[in-house]
Homo-oligomer: A and B are copies of this chain.
Amino acid sequence: MPRNRQTVGVGLIGSGFMGRCHANAFSAVAGLFDVPVKPVKTILADATVDLAVEGANALGFERATSDWQELVNDEAVDIVAITAPNVFHEPIALGAIAAGNTVYCEKPLSTTVESALKMTLAAEATGVVTSVGFNFLRNPMIKLAREIIGSGEIGKITGFRGRHAENYMASSDAPHSFRTEPAGGGALADIGSHIISIGRFLLGPVTAVFGDCTTIHTSRPIALGTMERRPVEVDDMTLALLKFENGASGSIEANWAATGRTMDLSFEITGTKGAISFTQERMNELHLYSTGGRCSGFTKIESGPEHPPYGQFCPAPGHQLGFNDLKVIEVAELLEAHATGKSCSVDFREALQIQEIVEAIAASSRSGKWLRV
């Protein structure tokens, strides 16, 4: 039974892949979730007026602008969604916070811990609701993993074996981009942050790290389609060892040159009484081993209505959620938080802490020593 819903105005900055993804999630959420407020796609901002108008038209926004400051200060805007390049996250977020808006920012929160800290403090000072787009955490299977761990079913956690491996930079001819900028770039920051966010979500705080960052391709073309190359200053692959506050030890790998892997965001978590294994490549499955069972092997748990909010999307198991559904779940949580003032599960503070781990791993790699976080 839907509540009598008020509307909230959404201002979106950026209309690239993640911009479209946000827009679609705002379109779909009210038909799938019983959200307390109903989003209205109010203004879209992009780098130029032409881009903005085109984006607004394609994505169903009422108005368009090339001036994000106009957007964040517009009366009709309640929620500001930031999918602009990483270097713009800080100024836009600070502007949106100053205007009292709820802020929904794509990951990483910013390009440096220093910048991310400034954003976090500003948000906390004003008390606005914040959310950062670590969408993989929205998967009901990840939530189920957390519940299983929390219930004690697999005992005390002893090990975490994580990985985020993709192949989109595997070729030495994959060109430079914002992803290879020294500030905030590299495989560790770009995708390692996902597996770190999962480690924290499931096991809690990390207390120490040891890192080994490697640049596999030491030069890349300056742009697509050119022969001219310049040196690479960021990592293609990072291996790291972790210590968790709960006593577990672990390792992670962040690798964007992992030939053959499209989305091996995966982990195995070992406890004294069981284990959990997962890969995003089969995101509708969680594999559970529990010593309480009579059998010696892992059980494939298939995503279904018993794993909320799967049931918002499909009435029966086996149908399967897709990537875009994760974003809808993220937006549903955002709207709930906006209406109630509750925190989002990845707010600016949490995103800051993920980024601190990223920087500590990189610093450890330079020093060759364990670093406390």
* Chain A residues in the interface with B (C-beta under 8 A): 1-2, 17, 20, 23-24, 27-28, 30-32, 54, 57-60, 154-155, 158-159, 161, 163, 166, 168, 170-172, 210, 212, 214, 216, 236-237, 239, 241, 249-251, 253, 255, 257-264, 270-275, 277, 280-283, 285, 288-289, 291, 293, 295-302, 304, 306, 313-325, 368-370
Contact = CB atoms under 8 A, between A and B. Distances in A.
A306 B262 CA distance: 13
Nearest to A170: B272
A260 B241 contact: no
B31 A24 contact: yes
Contacts of A236: 158
Given A257-B270, A323-B319, A306 B296 contact: yes
Contacts of A241: 210, 212, 239, 241
Contacts of A23: 31
A322 B318 contact: no
A368 B259 CA distance: 31
Nearest to A255: B159
Contact of A27 (B27, B237, B281): B27
Copies of this chain held together in the complex: 4
B321 A289 contact: no
Contact of A2 (B57, B214, B322): B57
Nearest to A297: B300
A-B CB proximity, top 5 nearest: A263-B318, A322-B322, A262-B318, A260-B289, A297-B300
Contacts of A272: 170-172, 216, 257, 259
A251 B253 contact: yes
Contacts of A271: 259
A257 B318 contact: no
B317 A302 contact: no
15 contacts: A2-B57, A2-B58, A28-B28, A158-B237, A158-B257, A212-B241, A241-B241, A259-B272, A260-B289, A260-B298, A262-B304, A280-B318, A296-B306, A297-B301, A297-B302
A281 B318 contact: yes
Nearest to A57: B2
B270 A296 contact: no
B296 A298 contact: no
